[in-house]
Chain A
């Protein structure tokens, strides 16, 4: 049971960290895709969607090539910070982030596109700087879609399996998440433990969705 708590706590923490780290660049990318035209845009859109269409295991393998000891990012991290990436909690976060990118960017982009450029233009005629237009008009009007995207990203991160198992492995107490633990339990015949984890993760997902629904309702009627 204490193992379950450890796994649960670890998974929630890394998933939250993944979403927090992804939020700013993900929203920036979504905004650029919604509001700007530039050469190579189709390429960027395809790259963003890639983790959604590739088998997660393939994404994991690519990540391993990048984050591994001989990979470009892995070597840079070693040289700069003296830390390993692959098969550590950092790789779990990286896998969750990459797998969540398409969900967050897609939701946020649709949300940004739904904000009338006309309202932004009027805000400018009222003296608002670009930063204030974004903060006071675009962001609050896109809040629902952004919140939905962040929630989707968090949910996706909680359940991430394929990429995680390749790039971070399943090291008890270090990289084991709910999903990899369930897989492991089933493989070793510990079905009771697997069902317990399933129950816990279902409860967690329920709580997250429920909390966000309540929050959105409160915002809408405020």
Chain B
């Protein structure tokens, strides 16, 4: 998988995000302080936000081209997106949430076995429950499984561990590592925690005020693997 953001510019409220990069690692982290435009970047790749300049190309397929006005809508992208806020469908059980995207037409990502996803993410104890009765960590895992089962070519994760207490963070991290190691789906995630970059990513892009400031392996960009915060 290669995700090419070719001179892509996204208009945001107070500045514009500009990225020119080709990402081809299995797991790429976009690392930066809050307000750097990280979530907007994911939204653009998912097709929920349109760049006003440049192109987004996923494995040779042009998803957005601001020059020609070409825009592939989110339902035709095969890009899975797990948001930071809770976006499980409240009227459906965990199982129905999981299956929501399972039959997408024209999906080209690898076929995943539902039982295996349930097993890897440890979802079986609460499959018949509604989201309102699940804990924060359980909801994250269901959302992750739901995105995986839609057979995406690329999985986007927005702050996958934020807002969880420390124990829960470690548990969800374990599940993320298993997803990374067991499923052949490339991941692009954003975070403001250096420790998450070090734990998960093969490559990291440092984003500040809408610009890429540095790029490389976690060790290079962050210094020590458990290195500092982008603001020092």
Contact = CB atoms under 8 A, between A and B. Distances in A.
B77 A125 contact: yes
Contacts of B104: 126-128
Interface residues on B, range: 20 to 34
B75 A118 contact: no
B83 A118 contact: yes
A140 B79 CA distance: 25
Contacts of B75: 124-130
A204 interface: no
A127 B101 CA distance: 6
A129 B87 CA distance: 18
Contact of A118 (B85, B101, B147): B85
Nearest to A143: B91
Nearest to A123: B100
B151 to A, nearest CB: 9
B194 interface: no
Contacts of A122: 81, 83, 87
A45 to B, nearest CB: 28
B110 interface: no
A57 interface: no
B150 interface: yes
A122 B107 CA distance: 16
A141 interface: yes
Contacts of A116: 87
The residue in B46, B78, B89, B147 that gathers the most chain A C-beta atoms within 10 A of its C-beta is B89
Given A122-B83, A125-B48, A127-B107, A136 B100 contact: yes
A124 B91 contact: no
Contacts of B146: 126
Contacts of B83: 118, 122
Nearest to B100: A126
A65 B36 CA distance: 61
Interface string B41-58: 000001110000000000
Interface of B: 46-48, 73-75, 77-81, 83, 85, 87, 89-91, 100-101, 103-105, 107, 146-147, 150
Given A123-B100, A126-B75, 19 more contacts: A116-B87, A118-B87, A119-B87, A123-B89, A124-B47, A125-B47, A125-B74, A125-B77, A125-B80, A125-B150, A126-B147, A127-B78, A127-B105, A127-B150, A128-B75, A128-B101, A128-B104, A130-B75, A136-B100
